[in-house]
């Protein structure tokens, strides 16, 4: 098990690898990848009971990434966890590769194909129901973007999650406050979002979604309440960790130039040095 400090270093390494991956592929969802990456870090290094050799185990935990467009962060973490050799990511977006711009089951470690928004939660509900029926101990985790909450299908699925009292289901909202057009509250207001989820029957907690220690303690304490699905509102910063990308809707799917990449990697390296020098 990684120490808190090692986990924090991981996040910086993942950020650098993800940016390099996006630049090499010439495409990617830069801003959302960087807001999501700490959540993935904590899930795959601390919380999920999964491993490359456990993917046929019916009792493995399930992860469904509903915000499928932030796949570069997921690929980076899966490669680090040994689901496939990192070199395979060289083929991302290339002719004939199974590493494409959204998650598919052709890639080891991925449970469900996503990409169209508003689909993951209902599938996660089905997976959680199956666990309940079979008396299996696995939990189902899903990450939704905040922009995708505009899709009504999420709210249908939420009704079912509460109706079936699925306390083996953990819904994480990557609440970075932005979607492609701009701030979520300007595009189609979501607030008071936590109250809405509470009213839909979730046990809701708020967390700094870019703080791996806070995320760990929240995700290690699921279910938040017996008999209710858990909802973790992860307050994140789109573009987190790179000064000129943070909170900029324009970085939704912009690819850094070579110069921007160097600057970003420099900032991440400096953050890592500071972290390693600190007590």
Nearer to another protein, 142 or 216 (CB): 142
CA distance 43 to 216: 8
Query: Residue 95 CB, nearest distance to another protein (Å)?
Result: 19
Residue 146 site contact among another protein, Mg ion, none (CB < 5 to 8 Å, cut-off depends on kind) = Mg ion
Can you tell me which of 9, 116, 187, 275 binds another protein, judged by CB under 8 A? 116
Interface stretch with another protein, choices 15-23, 124-132, 201-209, 215-223 (CB under 8 A): 124-132
The answer to whether 108 contacts another protein (rule: CB under 8 A) is no
Of 124, 178, 242, 268, which one interacts with another protein (CB under 8 A)? 124
Give CA–CA dist 188/17, Å, rounded.
33
Question: For residue 234, what are the CA distances in angstroms to 49, 56, 120?
Answer: 21, 30, 17
Written as six digits, the tokens of 121 are: 């939660």
The three-point CA angle 268-103-196 to 5° equals: 85
| Identified binder of another protein from the candidate list 7, 16, 25, 125, rule CB under 8 A | 125
When the beta carbons of 104 and 263 are compared against another protein, the nearer one is 104
Among 157, 190, 193, 203, binds another protein (CB under 8 A): 157
Instruction: Check residue 170 for interaction with another protein (CB under 8 A).
Output: no
* Alpha helix stretches (DSSP H) within 54-152: 71-80, 120-134
Residues that bind another protein (CB under 8 A): 58, 104-105, 111-116, 119, 121-131, 133-134, 152-153, 156-157, 159-160
């Amino acid at each position: 098990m990684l120490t808190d400090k090692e986990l924090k270093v991981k996040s910086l390494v993942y950020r650098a690898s993800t940016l390099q991956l996006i630049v090499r592929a010439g495409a990617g969802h830069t801003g959302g990848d960087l807001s999501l990456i700490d959540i993935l870090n904590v899930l795959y290094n601390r919380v999920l009971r999964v491993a490359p050799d456990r993917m046929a185990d019916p009792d493995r935990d399930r992860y469904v990434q509903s915000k499928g467009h932030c796949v570069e962060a997921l690929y980076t973490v899966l490669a680090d966890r040994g689901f496939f050799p990192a070199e395979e990511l060289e083929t991302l977006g290339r002719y004939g590769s199974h590493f494409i711009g959204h998650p598919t089951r052709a890639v080891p470690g991925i449970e469900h194909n996503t990409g169209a928004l508003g689909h993951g939660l209902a599938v996660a509900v089905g997976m959680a129901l199956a666990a309940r029926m079979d008396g299996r101990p696995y939990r189902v985790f899903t990450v939704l973007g905040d922009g995708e909450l505009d899709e009504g299908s999420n709210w249908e699925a939420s009704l079912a999650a509460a109706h079936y009292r699925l306390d083996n289901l953990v819904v994480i909202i990557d609440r970075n406050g932005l979607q492609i057009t701009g701030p979520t509250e300007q595009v189609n207001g979501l607030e008071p979002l936590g109250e809405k989820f509470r009213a839909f029957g979730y046990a809701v907690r708020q967390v700094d979604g870019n703080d791996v220690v806070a995320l760990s303690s929240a995700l290690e304490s699921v279910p938040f309440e017996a008999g209710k699905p858990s909802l973790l509102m992860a307050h994140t910063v789109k573009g987190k960790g790179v000064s000129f990308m943070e909170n900029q809707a324009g970085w939704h799917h912009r690819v850094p130039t070579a110069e921007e990449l160097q600057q970003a990697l420099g900032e991440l390296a400096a953050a890592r040095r500071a972290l390693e020098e600190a007590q």
